[in-house]
């Protein structure tokens, strides 16, 4: 083996851990971010039409894995009437805060397919620590991460002024997600 080939082999070997930790790609057509709130006791379902994720996840290297998630708050979709109100300052204030973000700080394995992802959720300029339960399922080259967690909308100033009355719109909102990814190592 000549020196040049040996050098190339060593460079390739040194880069292989980086390839394992490479970012995964989201499959938008198979992914969704939804929410359920309660208005006068009645469940109201909605979803966000636009979101993105930067995921570098390796189940064998949780300490160096990370998840960053961004939701376009202006893409909230409930109904025509609600969609006209949600971008306003009282609700998401999309003009000033067009994005809600989540940045992981730690990922903990619960069992073979269940994880807890701790991190910081930021909405309308307010940040709060959250722990998100995530279940992973692999089918061929696609891994689906799904889960749900509650947030308190008033913590993030969603629904201010007259809408802060929780008898009209409950404080707790259930956030649900299903994110399809390619490039995740075998679980």
Q: Tell me: the pLDDT tens digits for 59-78?
A: 999 999 999 999 999 999 99
Q: What percent of the chain has pLDDT over 70?
A: 88
Asked if the structure places residue 110 within a domain, the reply is yes
Tokens 């998401």, residue?
92
Would you say residue 15 lies in a domain?
no
pLDDT for 130 equals 97
Query: Which CATH number is 166's domain given?
Result: 2.40.128.110
In a domain, 49, yes or no: yes
Residue 160 belongs to some domain of the structure:
yes
Give a yes or no: residue 56 inside a domain. yes
Q: What is the pLDDT of residues 35-49, one digit of tens each?
A: 999 999 999 999 999
pTM of the complete model: 0.85
8: pLDDT strictly greater than 70 = no
String of DSSP letters for 100-168: EEEEEEEEEE-SSSEEEEEEEEEETTEEEEEEEEEEEEEETTEEEEEEEEEEEGGGGT-S-GGGG-TTT
| CA pair distance 172, 123, nearest whole angstrom | 15
The domain total for the chain is: 1
Q: Considering the domain boundaries, does residue 166 fall inside one?
A: yes
Look at residue 79 and tell me if it is in a domain: yes
Give the integer Cα–Cα distance in Å for 172 and 149.
Answer: 10
Domain that holds residue 93: 21-182
Mean pLDDT of the region 126-137: 98
pLDDT score recorded for residue 22:
57
Residue 2 lies in a domain: no
């Amino acid at each position: 083996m000549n020196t040049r080939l040996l050098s190339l082999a060593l460079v390739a070997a040194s880069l292989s851990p980086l390839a394992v930790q490479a970012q995964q790609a989201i499959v938008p057509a198979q992914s969704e971010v939804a929410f359920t709130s309660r208005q006068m006791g009645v469940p109201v379902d909605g979803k966000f039409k636009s979101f993105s994720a930067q995921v570098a996840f390796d189940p064998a290297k949780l300490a160096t894995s990370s998840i960053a998630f961004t939701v376009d708050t202006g893409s909230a979709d409930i109904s025509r009437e609600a969609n006209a109100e949600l971008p306003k300052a009282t609700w998401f204030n999309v003009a000033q805060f067009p994005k809600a973000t989540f940045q992981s700080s730690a990922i903990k394995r619960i069992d073979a397919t269940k994880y807890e992802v701790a991190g910081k959720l930021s909405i309308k300029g307010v940040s709060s620590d959250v722990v998100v339960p995530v279940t992973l399922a692999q089918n061929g080259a696609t891994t689906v991460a799904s889960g749900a967690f509650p947030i308190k909308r008033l913590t993030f100033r969603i629904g201010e002024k007259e809408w802060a009355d929780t008898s009209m719109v409950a404080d707790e909102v259930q956030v649900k997600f299903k994110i399809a990814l390619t490039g995740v190592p075998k679980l």
